[in-house]
Structure 1
């Protein structure tokens, strides 16, 4: 901390800490989370703040989830997210946000980087499918997209796949406790293969796919297996319209390196946030 005369306060930032080499500080900061650097490490003393604000390498990966803000309070993170994006100096490659990302923030991100490789967004009632589509079109290097509890439209997967020719990992997840119950009189709502068919049509380079809580049927799953020949891992837990033992699907799926599925009466304990690994290799 600095006193009124601009000198560093030795009681909060001793000489040894303040004199740490820049390379050492960078290594330390990279082991901290985005919010820890923004709120704490970058405020310890002048030398630490200089590194936190002037080293874009620290901000190539911005991960703002499990941050302790919920509901309307989550939107207090919009401004810190903008600060972090600015500090990346156009080098931002990975961005993950939970509960607060909206259309304006995605536009802000796209205006400041075009080299994004991984994007993870969760709890997206405030974010439109149009904003996701525009982001995909402006980030041609995207390799991984994870959307949880998000806005789903019939053509969204096809649009994302067409815009992101390098896409290797795609996660489009619901869970049982947050999905609206289907209308029993609306067969299309009970089972819908539009998202699966969009994936099969446009994401031919996929290696990893999660569709937890999706309403695809055997037709959609077959199309994915046919259209994504490089698929290595597949997670279709809570996809209760799929009869995995019909049409020879089980034999095809178990040939993959990793395959998950379940049935309506199975115990299911999937913490989306714990799998929100956009910040990890």
Structure 2
């Protein structure tokens, strides 16, 4: 009820407005609570309005691999080809990456896939369907090499942000990966933001990137210990470029990454996202404890069919 004493018909709001409101809620609340309030809300969360931006990175770090596959298939199918942003950690196989490219590739602008087990071959096969991507995160993807980066660069002509941050222990035995630097330099000329922290590069590899990516505004070289670039050269030829590292020891390095695992916090590196003019808002959900207390004239209407969809993920039914 509003201040004038009139009831607001929340169930009559247009679906895209409802989707924007529901984006403040957790994934579990959207899938288990909202559909059981009323038919219009259930329709909103089963359609594309809530799924133009899917961020399940935190949830995916703790779920079972088969649950992750089914969750992605369900949510991407609901987006109905309107998915603009997808953030998910630890994709376990090539088949689910192929599903993403086939069902959401044309609309995707931002794609974050840290710690994923995807291969060069699948990236080469589907890169052409990801042509509209502007920001890509392939951090700690151990099976990805220069082959995949080259395929992405050749097909994703609008790419302006790339994150290729590695785990120090996973690259400790690798002498050099300048082939990745070469792939970036020769196929991604529009890059403005590049993170290659702990990627074993040499000075020559980084100079290739600087020569080939003339629009760079930010370059993260933390942990690239073999890179030696004269500050005077950077100031003279790349005055508009901000370089972080390589001689910077961050929190994870000081602690020898002891606390880092497949389920660790992924906020150890910067992640600037370049979006289109519409932008993407980040929302912090607020607690709803007590929201039903002492409400007058509140009618709760429950509908069947939603519990079966989410029960397999181990979530309890909505109260």
TM-score band by shorter chain is: 0.7 to 0.9
Quote the Cα distance in structure 2 between the aligned partners of 1:277 and 1:66.
18
Q: Deviations over 1:191-223 (max 9, x none)?
A: 231000111101011111110111111101111
Displacement of 1:175? 2.5
Greater RCO, CA 8 A, separation 6+: 2
Does the alignment pair 1:194 with 2:211?
Answer: no
Q: 1:256 to 1:43 in 2, by over 3 A?
A: farther
CA contact (8 A) 1:169 1:209 kept: yes
1:99 aligns with 2:90: yes
* 1:221 pairs with 2:234: no
Deviation at 1:180, TM superposition (A): 4.1
Aligned residues: 255
Question: How far did residue 36 of structure 1 move?
Answer: 4.0
Q: Is 2:195 the counterpart of 1:210? A: yes
1:190 is paired with a residue whose SS is coil
Tell me the distance in 2 between the aligned counterparts of 1:105 and 1:253: 43
- The C-alpha deviation readout for 1:11-31, integer Å capped at 9, x for no partner, is xxxx97863623552231133
Counterpart Cα distance in 2 of 1:35 and 1:146: 25
CA spacing shift, 1:75–1:207, aligned 2, 3 Å = same
CA shift in 2, pair 1:244/1:17, >3 Å: farther
Instruction: Report if aligned partners of 1:34, 1:62 keep a CA contact under 8 Å in 2.
Output: no
TM-score calculated relative to the size of structure 2: 0.70
Q: State the distance in 2 between where 1:57 and 1:180 align.
A: 41
Distance in 2 (CA, whole Å) between partners of 1:105 and 1:60 is: 18
- The answer to whether structure 1 residue 255 and structure 2 residue 239 are counterparts is yes
- 2:191–2:215: 8 Å Cα contact kept in structure 1? yes
Take 2:237 and 2:139, find their aligned partners in 1: how far apart are those partners? 23
- Aligned partners of 1:66 and 1:273 also within 8 Å: no
Shift in Å at residue 137 of structure 1? 1.5
Evaluate the alpha carbon distance shift between residue 181 and residue 269 of structure 1 in structure 2; reply closer, same or farther with a 3 A threshold. closer
Contact 2:136-2:161 at 8 Å conserved across structures: yes
Task: After TM superposition, give the deviation of residue 227 of structure 1 in Å.
Answer: 0.4
In structure 1, runs of 5+ residues without a counterpart are 1-14, 183-188
Consecutive unaligned residues of structure 2, counting only runs of 5 or more, are: 1-6, 254-264, 282-319
| Equivalent residues of 1:136, 1:142 under 8 A apart | no
CA contact (8 A) 2:69 2:96 kept: yes
Equivalent residue for 1:167?
A: 159
Contact kept, 8 Å, 1:170 with 1:206, in 2: the verdict is yes
Aligned to 2:24: 31
- The answer (yes or no) to whether the contact 1:139–1:164 under 8 Å persists in 2 is yes
CA distance, structure 2, for counterparts of residue 130 and residue 226 of structure 1: 28
Q: Which moved more, 1:151-160 or 1:20-29?
A: 20-29
Deviation at 1:267, TM superposition (A): 3.8
Cα distance per residue 1:82-136 (max 9 Å; x no partner): 1110111111121111123531112222222322111110112x32222223332
* Distance change >3 Å, CA 130–CA 40, structure 1 → 2: farther
What SS class does the counterpart of residue 173 from structure 1 fall into?
coil
Report the Cα distance in structure 1 between the residues aligned to 2:60 and 2:88, rounded to whole angstroms.
12
Superposed CA RMSD in Å reads: 2.8
SS of residue matched to 1:19: helix
Higher strand share: 1
Q: Distance in 1 between matches of 2:69 and 2:140?
A: 19
Asked whether the 8 Å contact 2:52–2:79 carries over to 1, the reply is yes
